[in-house]
Chain A
């Protein structure tokens, strides 16, 4: 009698702990996806001062392209090849849009906002036309199916992989920006474009490359997110504010800011969804409110947005 109730209590305790631990892992996974998305947004906004409101659309196209490559179209293709192909296609698309449209509007942030917003509507409608209104599921990579047991808990392998990849991307980005000639050239081009040109840096080409990099990262995040979130019309408008809030929170142009902002939002959003599902989107408001009141430039921002 006593033994069974004790056992039941133990079981409930373990179940509860599993719940919280899984929620934590999910939060970090979501934060990793947000980081991949927001890092590009933050780079483009922080370095080039372009408020790229089509970033959510690039994420969504990435997801849709991933769905095309991985389901139906070429069934034998590996997940990573599909993800890389989507990222490259969207990076090229980003570069073209930057060259053709945004380049015509230098130093006019409002015009850039409106043009990127306009393009995001065109993209959303285009995706609806091509891929239809039903949510698409994308299978994760086969090698990462199933779970891994750590102690008494089983964690989905794919989600852990997403976290690892985001960490690798963060390190590579940091190295690229802070420790290479390419990064130094970008920083020089941002601080003093005229002088950078004089010493022989092709600032214009460099900015297109940064934009393409940001776009490619967004699309890559879209493919990585597809097995977890699915791809559906409206995904762009769902994810864009999250990236915005991450950047408002962490400060624009700061890699560390993007990491911390993503983690904060990842945790708040997932715990909010588990505890107060109806208000999950609303609770995002709270950290943003705090940061704006106390430190309007964001936690790690160099200047006010």
Chain B
């Protein structure tokens, strides 16, 4: 499965939801499908996208929040999974695109390449719903189920280690930040 295809498959579901992504390929590919004011791209601070998602989910309990994370980022903040599980925001869907590598900095393998199981780690941390998917159809179905379940879910989507040719887009970080804030508060 390609990450871009996975994003495209669920894009219609994102239009009315709050979306936070990590940096790099995820941010660039989601923007290539069409930026929206309800999308925020955390272009650095690896590991904190899920923490931001938690802060938003706790502050906006009546809205669904989707976080698009990655294996490299999650591995930098494994403790954050325990915090997510502890507060169990039922309005948060946590997608981890696992390409088993740090793609944007040369493709060196992460620990998931040698067997570390992020869905297993999330489950052991206490996340109530976890699943690993390897096909586009399974991803689409797991995402639909998570939205319908109304409970904290971590979906680990195994994707190919391919991405866009570049990561810098014409959306400035601060433009994104203030537009997103205005959206969340309106």
A, B assembled together? no
| Interface residues of A, Cβ cutoff 8 Å to B | none
